[in-house]
């Protein structure tokens, strides 16, 4: 009996090729555009209509059924609000990770299964096998970092058709299939707002921020910021403190409304040889926490974990070498060889 796969069609080349490959493999493929965001912002027009039309055109080209699932309200409540709360608390949250956890591999999965799908599929660069999350063939494009909060139950119902291809190979496949997205550029910036920068986005939803002091490593005030929420650990650009060596953000105090910077790239406040993880998530319910490496940002280096200990609801990771600019709110993702086993939020 032919299996039915609901493919998340974003209007980009990766999901388009994913759908084409699945059809070629004999699946009954249904394309689904997830409408997560449609709001225009000052100076920026949300591209959702163009993306929706591109996704629809790909479905017509492939001769597959096409639907739209409207998750806009849930997206704001579960992803955008999470992000706003995190920044307000002085953290730097990752909306892409929360989108995968709450929308793509929860709401989209549930809605698809209810409508008769056997599997869902996306254009992520990742691989899965028996509920395990495995890194993609293309190291440069691997997206398992963003998928670590997905469950093994969800992965057992998920296909990643392009996980075994490199990006150039995916582009070539798109040309082979004559897809209208073959030469479409990748969208950059926040996952749901196209070209809007994070600061510009936050300014639309957070109350006006108060300016405050920027202090250097000696405690001297060397300038003013326009809102501590807009700054993140390790940040170098956008500080508006001129002259001499570049400054790097080492921390901030939300209560005092102060941002702390240094010109010393070796400043101890910029480096950590241990990580405290909160909100831990393990893809398998009983993970084997041995022989681990950790990644603290997408495309960041893999660092050996010397030890991992549970402390209350948190985990403490001792690292083989110090890492620069660990940022509260970001994720530390753990791997055993080529298998992503989970991770947690840096605090």
Length of the chain: 347
pLDDT tens by residue, 271-305 = 999 999 999 999 998 899 999 999 999 999 999 99
pLDDT tens by residue, 295-345 = 999 999 999 999 999 999 999 999 999 999 999 999 999 999 999 999 999
pLDDT tens by residue, 29-53 = 999 999 999 998 887 888 899 999 9
User: Is the Cβ–Cβ distance between 340 and 134 less than 8 Å?
Assistant: yes
pLDDT tens by residue, 192-250 = 555 677 888 999 999 999 999 999 999 999 999 999 999 999 998 878 787 678 999 99
Contact residues for 154 (Cβ-Cβ < 8 A; gap 6+) = 105, 106, 109
Task: Order across the sheet with 158-159: list the strands.
Answer: 65-70, 28-35, 4-8, 119-121, 158-159
CB atoms within 10 A of CB 295: 22
How far CA 171 is from CA of 10, 16, 33, in Å, comes to 16, 10, 21
Burial category of 231 from C-beta neighbours within 10 Å (exposed 0-12, middle 13-18, buried 19 and up)? buried
Kind plus residue range of the DSSP H or E element containing 91: none
Q: For the chain, which domains are there? A: 4-176 (3.40.50.620), 208-262 (2.30.30.280), 268-346 (2.40.30.10)
d(CA 136, CA 128): 9
User: Is the Cβ–Cβ distance between 329 and 92 less than 8 Å?
Assistant: yes
How far CA 234 is from CA of 101, 220, 301, 328, in Å, comes to 27, 19, 16, 11
CB atoms within 10 A of CB 232: 18
The catalytic site residues sit at: 99, 191
């Amino acid at each position: 009996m032919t299996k039915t796969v609901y493919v998340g069609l974003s209007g980009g080349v990766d999901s388009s090729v994913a759908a084409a490959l699945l059809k070629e493999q004999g699946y009954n493929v249904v394309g689904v555009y997830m409408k997560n965001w449609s709001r225009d912002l000052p100076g920026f027009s949300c591209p959702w209509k163009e993306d929706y039309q591109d996704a629809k055109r790909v479905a017509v080209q492939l001769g597959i059924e096409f639907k739209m699932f409207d998750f806009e309200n849930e997206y704001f409540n579960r992803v955008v609000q999470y992000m706003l709360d995190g920044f307000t608390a002085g953290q730097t949250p990752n909306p892409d990770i929360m989108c995968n956890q709450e929308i793509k591999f929860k709401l989209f999965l549930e809605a698809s299964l209810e409508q008769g799908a056997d599997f869902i599929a996306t254009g992520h660069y990742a691989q899965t096998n028996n509920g395990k999350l495995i890194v993609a063939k293309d190291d440069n494009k691997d997206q398992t970092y963003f998928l670590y909060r997905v469950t093994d139950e969800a992965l057992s119902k998920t296909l990643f058709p392009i996980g075994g291809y490199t990006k150039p190979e995916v582009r070539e496949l798109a040309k082979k299939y004559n897809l209208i997205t073959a030469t479409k550029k990748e969208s950059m910036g926040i996952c749901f707002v196209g070209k809007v920068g994070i600061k510009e986005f936050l300014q639309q939803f957070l109350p006006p921020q108060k300016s405050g002091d920027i202090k250097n490593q000696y405690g001297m005030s060397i300038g003013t910021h326009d809102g501590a929420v807009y700054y993140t650990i390790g940040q170098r650009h956008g500080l508006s403190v001129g002259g001499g060596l570049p400054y790097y953000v080492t921390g901030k105090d939300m209560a005092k409304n102060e941002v702390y910077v240094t010109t010393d790239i070796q400043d101890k406040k910029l480096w950590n040889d241990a990580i405290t993880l909160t909100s831990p998530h393990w893809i398998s319910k009983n993970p084997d926490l041995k022989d681990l490496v950790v990644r603290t940002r997408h495309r960041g280096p893999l660092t050996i974990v010397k030890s991992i200990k549970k402390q209350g609801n948190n985990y403490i990771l001792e690292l083989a070498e110090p890492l620069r600019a660990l940022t509260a709110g970001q994720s530390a993702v753990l791997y055993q060889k080529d298998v992503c086993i989970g991770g947690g939020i840096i605090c």
